[in-house]
């Protein structure tokens, strides 16, 4: 659910490349889930290459690599 929500926002352009995403804690609070669930959702988005993490700075929408 969380990963699908963020995927839809990224693909629709609501979230643009370079946009900063909420922290895992904020996502967990917003969706009413555990930190572990929020982390797994973010991990899935990273695996799909939709987001990128910058240590010490946060998580951002990845640049699109259009075919």
pLDDT in tens, 6-62: 999 999 999 999 999 999 999 999 999 999 999 999 999 999 999 999 888 999 999
Instruction: Flag whether pLDDT at 66 surpasses 60.
Output: no
Largest CA distance in the chain: 36
* Closest alpha carbon to 19 in 64, 65, 55, 61: 61
How far, in Å, CA of 14 to CA of 8, rounded? 8
């Amino acid at each position: 659910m969380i990963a699908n929500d963020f995927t839809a926002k990224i693909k629709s352009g609501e979230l643009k490349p370079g946009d900063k995403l909420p922290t895992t804690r904020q996502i967990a609070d917003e969706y009413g889930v555990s930190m572990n669930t929020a982390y797994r959702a973010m991990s899935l988005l990273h695996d799909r290459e939709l987001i990128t993490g910058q240590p010490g700075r946060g998580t951002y929408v990845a640049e699109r690599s259009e075919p």
